[in-house]
Amino acid sequence: MERDYTVENPKMKLGFGFMRLPLTNPDDDTAIDLKQVEEMADQFFRRGFTYCDTAYMYHDFKSEETVAEAVVDRRERNSFTVATKMPLVMLKNEAEVEEIFNKQLANLHVDYIDYYLMHDMNRSNYEIAKKFHVLEFARKMREQGKIHHLGFSCHDTPEHIDRVLTENPDLEFVQLQINYLDWESQGIQSGACYEVCEKHNKPVIVMEPVKGGTLAKVPAEVEKMMRACHPNWSPASWAIRFAASLPMVKVVLSGMSNMEQLDDNTTYMQDFQPLNQEELDLLKKAARMIDDTIAIACTGCRYCVEENTCPKNIPISRYFALYNTDNLLPGREWTPEKEYYANSIAEGYGRASECIKCRGCERVCPQHLPISDLMDKVKIPMEEQNSMVK
Ligand code: SF4
Ligand code: SF4
C-alpha cells in the first residue's frame, strides 16, 4: 500500500511535544495543568496544526492520558495525528510488548496510532527489540490497522541508524535530534544522521530542535546578532526554523510549556518559509559562539533520573541546568541557582560531590555525557563556592 507520510498539510511542520507540559506543582511531573494544556491544544489546532507527540514514559507515565483528555476526547479522530512510542528500555519479557501496546491504546482512548515509534532504538535497545520480537509485533499491528506508520527514534551514531534502516527497510520514518548547535558536533552528529535518512529516503521527525531550551536562551551577543537580522524572531524560532528548513523533515516537535511559547511557534510556523543562505550562515556563526559558552550540553531529557539509575539520588539534569544557567554569568557570590541547589540538598537529594562514579547514568544518557566527570565540575560553584550549602 502506498503510504502517505504527511500530516494534513505538509507545509504545517510543527508538532506539539507532550513532554514538558505546564505543571501545577513544579516538583511533581505528574501534576499536569490540564486546563492550560487544553487551551494550548485548542490554539494549536485553531492554527491548523495536527501532530501530537507523546510517549509511554513522559511525565512519569501521565503524558498519554493527557493527550487523551486534552485532544482525543475533544476532537474528531480524523482531525489530529498522534504519535507514541514503545519503551524498549523497560521491557523485561516478550509478553510485555503486547500488554504495553494495549495499555497505550487505552491510555490514549484510540483504536489506532498514527505514528508508532520504537523509543530510542540505540544499540542496546535494538538488541532488546530483537530479543523480544518487538518489530515483528508492531508490523502485525500495522497489518491490522492499529498502527498506521511505523518508525523509530534514536540517539546514536549515523552508522547505527544506517544499520537499522538497512536491516529494516520497511521502517517508514526516523525521529532524530536535530538542531543547529548539534549539526556538526562530534557528540551528536545531527547532520550525519540526517544524511543517512536522506540516503534511505526516510522522512525525519525532529526532536530537541531547541536543545532542551538551551537555544531559547542564547548568550546576549548571539541574540543581538539574531535581532539585528530579524528584530521579531525569537532565538527559539531561529532554532525551529533551522530544523524545519531541511527538506526531509516532515515535523519539528516542540515541547511547549506555556501559551506564550505555543503562540510564538504557531505564529511563524503557520506560514513557514525555509531559511536562506545568509540566515543559515548566521546560525553557523551562532553555533560557534554558543559552543564557546555552554558548559554542559544536557538536553534535560531526564532519562538518567527517570530510570532510577543513581544510587546516590543525585538529580543530575536539575544540577546541570542550574550549573549552566549559573555559568552564563559566572563569578557572582549569590545566585538563585546556588540557592536552588542548596534547597535540593536540604530536600534530601544527593550532592554532586557524593557521586561514586558508578557510571549507571552514563549508560542511559542519549547525549553520551561524561556525567560522573561533570559532577566534579558542578560541585565547585554549587558546593565549594556556595555558602548556602551546609
Ligand atoms: S555516576 Fe554518579 S551521578 Fe551517575 S549514577 Fe553513579 S553516582 Fe549517580
Ligand atoms: S544528563 Fe543525559 S540523560 Fe540526563 S537529562 Fe541530561 S541529557 Fe538526559
Region label for 196, one of left (φ > 0), alpha (ψ between -120 and 50) or beta (otherwise) = alpha
Q: Which of 273, 246, 100 is nearest to 180 (CA)?
A: 246
Q: Answer yes or no: do 54 and 112 share one domain.
A: yes
Residue ranges around ligand 2 (CB below 6 Å):
298-304, 316-317, 320, 364-365, 367, 369, 371
363 lines ligand 1 (CB under 6 A): no
Q: Answer yes or no: do 138 and 106 share one domain.
A: yes
The C-alpha cell that represents 172 in the structure block: 517508514
Q: What's the CA-to-centroid distance between 360 and ligand 1, angstroms?
A: 6
Residue nearest atom 8 in ligand 2 by C-alpha distance: 301
Q: Which ligand is nearest to the CA of 318?
A: 2
3-state SS assignment for residue 30: coil
Contacts of 179 (CB under 8 A, 6+ apart): 190, 208, 209, 210, 211, 215, 239, 242, 243
Handedness of CA 245, 251, 253, 254 (dihedral sign): positive
Phi then psi dihedrals of residue 170, to 5 deg: -85, -5
212 confidence band (pLDDT: 50, 70, 90): confident
Q: Answer yes or no: do 228 and 276 share one domain.
A: yes
| pLDDT tens-digit series, residues 234-256 | 999 999 999 999 999 999 999 99
Residue whose C-alpha cell is 515509534: 117
205, 83 Cβ separation under 8 angstroms = yes
| pLDDT tens-digit series, residues 179-208 | 998 888 655 678 999 999 999 999 999 998
Is position 6 within any domain?
Answer: no
243, 276 Cβ separation under 8 angstroms = no
7 confidence band (pLDDT: 50, 70, 90): very low
Q: Rounded to whole angstroms, what are the CA distances from 325 to 132, 284, 340?
A: 42, 22, 12
What is the spatial distance between Cα 84 and Cα 64, in angstroms, rounded to a whole number? Answer: 8
Q: What's the CA-to-centroid distance between 366 and ligand 2, angstroms?
A: 7
Ligand 2, atom nearest to 303 Cα? 3
Q: Could you say which of 246, 264, 291 is where a domain stops?
A: 291
**Of 290 and 130, more confident:** 130
Q: Could you say which of 265, 291, 317 is where a domain stops?
A: 291
Q: Answer yes or no: do 44 and 137 share one domain.
A: yes
Residue whose C-alpha cell is 554542559: 296
Is position 138 within any domain?
Answer: yes
Q: Answer yes or no: do 115 and 199 share one domain.
A: yes
Flag the least confident range among 199-203, 216-220, 325-329, 378-382: 325-329
Is position 296 within any domain?
Answer: no
Share of the chain above pLDDT 70, in %: 94
Q: Answer yes or no: do 310 and 263 share one domain.
A: no
Q: Could you say which of 227, 260, 291 is where a domain stops?
A: 291
Phi then psi dihedrals of residue 253, to 5 deg: -85, 140
Find the helix packing angle between 277-291 and 235-244, rounded to 10°: 120
- The DSSP string of 144-193 is TTSEEEEEEEE-S-HHHHHHHHHH-TT--EEEEE--TTTTT-TTT-HHHH
Residue nearest atom 4 in ligand 1 by C-alpha distance: 361
379, 345 Cβ separation under 8 angstroms = no
Q: Rounded to whole angstroms, what are the CA distances from 194 to 155, 191, 243, 353, 368?
A: 12, 5, 11, 38, 19
Q: What's the CA-to-centroid distance between 163 and ligand 2, angstroms?
A: 25
63, 19 Cβ separation under 8 angstroms = yes
Ligand 2, atom nearest to 305 Cα? 4
Is position 79 within any domain?
Answer: yes
Phi then psi dihedrals of residue 175, to 5 deg: -105, 120
Span 12-16, mean pLDDT?
92
Q: What's the CA-to-centroid distance between 145 and ligand 2, angstroms?
A: 35
Is position 178 within any domain?
Answer: yes
What is the spatial distance between Cα 254 and Cα 257, in angstroms, rounded to a whole number? Answer: 9
Contacts of 357 (CB under 8 A, 6+ apart): 372
Share of the chain above pLDDT 90, in %: 69
Q: Answer yes or no: do 65 and 135 share one domain.
A: yes
From 365, 371, 378, give the residue whose CB has the most ligand 2 atoms within 8 Å, as the site to mutate.
365
What is the residue-averaged pLDDT of the chain? 91
Q: What's the CA-to-centroid distance between 143 and ligand 2, angstroms?
A: 36
Residue nearest atom 3 in ligand 1 by C-alpha distance: 355
- Its domain, for residue 315, covers 303-384
Residue nearest atom 6 in ligand 2 by C-alpha distance: 298
Q: Using the predicted structure, report yes or no on whether residue 342 has a pLDDT greater than 80.
A: yes
From 310, 323, 369, give the residue whose CB has the most ligand 2 atoms within 8 Å, as the site to mutate.
369
Q: Answer yes or no: do 130 and 253 share one domain.
A: yes
**How many CB atoms sit inside 10 A of residue 380's CB?**
13
Q: Answer yes or no: do 358 and 269 share one domain.
A: no
Q: What's the CA-to-centroid distance between 5 and ligand 2, angstroms?
A: 30
Is position 137 within any domain?
Answer: yes
Q: Answer yes or no: do 265 and 159 share one domain.
A: yes
Span 341-347, mean pLDDT?
84
307 confidence band (pLDDT: 50, 70, 90): confident
Is position 214 within any domain?
Answer: yes
From 320, 375, 378, give the residue whose CB has the most ligand 1 atoms within 8 Å, as the site to mutate.
375
From 303, 309, 355, give the residue whose CB has the most ligand 1 atoms within 8 Å, as the site to mutate.
355
Q: Answer yes or no: do 277 and 320 share one domain.
A: no
What is the spatial distance between Cα 379 and Cα 282, in angstroms, rounded to a whole number? Answer: 35
375, 352 Cβ separation under 8 angstroms = yes
pLDDT score, position 9: 56
Is position 7 within any domain?
Answer: no
What is the spatial distance between Cα 323 and Cα 345, in angstroms, rounded to a whole number? Answer: 15
Q: pTM of the prediction?
A: 0.77
3-state SS assignment for residue 231: coil
Q: What's the CA-to-centroid distance between 351 and ligand 1, angstroms?
A: 10
Q: What's the CA-to-centroid distance between 83 and ligand 1, angstroms?
A: 32
| pLDDT tens-digit series, residues 76-93 | 999 999 999 999 989 999
pLDDT score, position 8: 46
Residue whose C-alpha cell is 520504537: 118
Q: What is the number of domains present in the chain?
A: 2
Q: Using the predicted structure, report yes or no on whether residue 261 has a pLDDT greater than 70.
A: yes
| pLDDT tens-digit series, residues 30-74 | 999 999 999 999 999 999 999 999 999 999 999 999 999 999 999
Check which CATH number belongs to the domain holding 82 and give it.
Answer: 3.20.20.100
Residue whose C-alpha cell is 511505523: 150
What is the spatial distance between Cα 234 and Cα 215, in angstroms, rounded to a whole number? Answer: 10
Q: Answer yes or no: do 149 and 180 share one domain.
A: yes
pLDDT score, position 2: 40
